[in-house]
Amino acid sequence: MLCKYLPPQEYLLANFKYNAETGEFSGNTFLIGNYLYINIGENFLVSRLIWRYMTGDNPHTIDHINGHYKDNHWENLQNVSPTEHGNKHKEQIDKCIYPGIYRTLEGWKAFVKINYITVCIGVYTCPHKARQAQLRRPRETQPLIVNKETTIYIDSKVIEQDARRFV
């Protein structure tokens, strides 16, 4: 399934300039989240416009090979299916160098096991800070008596417990 209609290649070639070496696309670009957009009557992702500009094709999903969404060098862009794109990002998220640390929309979550139960001890801006928080946790934790409905309190903060994670 193709996404939003893009202006024809002829329109883009006539009204914009793109430097494949620098990745610069002429026009008033702006950021929404991590992505560059341009407004041509409505907002378009710059990377999708570049693909249309260079190939004439309406792309499915543009993947930034190096993971830097503002890097629109031609060799950094590839057209992939939404499934391929999702699988690539799932692999990147799952490959954290520290055990028990996972990337989420909120940030990097750190988990520890307490009395055979996995609990989240916080959300951090980078995996290194999450790991530091894990290492600061005391090794000797008081045994907790829990059941499936229990909410665990650590450091006076409510920590959500996933009852399915019993070992």
**Other C-beta atoms lying within 10 Å of the C-beta of residue 93:** 11
Task: Tell me the residue range of the domain where 155 lies.
Answer: 101-165
Alpha helix (H) residue ranges in the chain: 9-15, 46-55, 82-94, 127-136
**Would 2 be classed as within a structural domain?**
no
Domain final residue, candidates 62, 92, 122: 92
pLDDT at residue 141, rounded to an integer? 45
Query: Which positions ≥6 away from 1 have C-beta within 8 Å?
Result: 60
**Other C-beta atoms lying within 10 Å of the C-beta of residue 12:** 21
Output the domain CATH number for residue 13.
3.90.75.20
pLDDT at residue 72, rounded to an integer? 92
Asked if 64 and 82 sit in the same domain, the reply is yes
| Its pTM surpasses 0.75 | no
Beta bridge partners of 62: 79
pLDDT at residue 147, rounded to an integer? 46
**Would 4 be classed as within a structural domain?**
no
Cα–Cα distance measured from residue 137 to residue 112, given in angstroms and rounded to the nearest whole number: 8
pLDDT tens string for the chain (167 positions)? 445 689 999 999 999 999 999 999 998 889 887 788 999 989 999 999 999 999 999 998 898 888 788 889 999 999 988 888 777 766 555 456 788 888 777 788 888 887 777 788 888 888 888 888 888 875 544 444 444 444 444 443 334 444 334 33
